[in-house]
Amino acid sequence: MAELHEANRDFQPKHETRFGLSVVKLDKATKKLNEKMGLSESELILRYGLHPVVVWWAHQELDSVVGMRMPAFEDLPSLPYIRALLAKFCAGDTQDPEVCGSEPLLSGYRRATFEHQYDFDPDRWIQRPHLPVNAFGLGRCACTRFYVDQNSVSIAIAHLLWAYNISHTYENGQKLEVDSWSLTQEIGVRPIPFKALFRVRGTKRQEIIEQTWTAAEKDTDILLERASYTFKISVSLWLLQSAKLTLM
């Protein structure tokens, strides 16, 4: 077996697809796409570090709704700005490569709705709550983990912004600028490593964070069992939604 493996180590299939990609390249591309979900944290930190006004408004909402306790899933319906942050984040730069077989023709662009499309502006979804969030797919092609993913990312955003002030770092008294377009050129686009400064928003929050960590369940078997149960609920909700769309 070792000799067979060595003989085929440098084997490269010659067949190419209609897009000029070999089977090997497609295989690598498919595997790379699985890394996307791990990229969200750095993208979140990049965006929030670059937009202090957005973070300030999020702090106002969180302080008004949850005060000096850590946000919970039950709070999400009362946190429209946090949900708008999720919508804007999902509508950001694509992480997947796209290939056009011919010169694209863009239609349906609404300047009144998508003016200044590169601005990080969550208010778009506050003023127009009907705007869809299609990062999880649409209709019967929607991700079966839609509700789990959406709520999980929303609560992560709420926890992050409730607990910390995020800002630029300084070296020798000079502010280190971060370029939002400084991205890797590969499948699963991600920000090139950068520095950010995290400050806990006061000693009381520091105590709550430490107490919550001490009381948190750390048994991986129990956590996986809970995750499995949550996933089953998500699939049930997705099937129900698909059935409704089919009947419409």
Q: Are 197 and 50 in contact (CB under 8 A)?
A: no
Over range 136-152, report the average pLDDT: 68
Q: Mean pLDDT in the chain?
A: 72
What share of the chain has pLDDT > 90, as a percent?
17
Place of tokens 């595997």: 31
Do 79 and 158 contact (CB within 8 A), yes or no? yes
pLDDT band at 5 (very low <50, low <70, confident <90, very high): very low
For residue 18, name the pLDDT band (cuts at 50, 70, 90). very low
pLDDT greater than 60 at residue 66? yes
Angle between helices 40-50 and 80-90 (to 10 degrees): 110
Domain segments of the chain as ranges: 1-11+22-216, 221-247
When mean pLDDT is compared over 6-15, 105-114, 149-158, the highest value belongs to: 149-158
Greater confidence, 163 or 34?
163
Output the pLDDT for position 158: 92
User: What is the predicted pLDDT for the residue at 170?
Assistant: 84
Q: What is the pLDDT of residue 37?
A: 47
Digit-coded pLDDT (tens) for 171-217:
888 888 777 777 776 666 677 777 888 899 999 999 999 999 898 88
Per-residue pLDDT, 210: 93
Is CATH 3.40.720.10 correct for 1-11+22-216?
Answer: no
pLDDT value of position 1: 45
The percent of residues above 70 in pLDDT, for the chain, comes to 54
The C-alpha atoms of residue 153 and residue 93 are separated, in whole angstroms, by: 17
pTM of the complete model? 0.66
Residue 71: per-residue pLDDT: 94
Tell me how far apart the alpha carbons of residues 202 and 194 are, in angstroms, rounded to a whole number.
Answer: 25
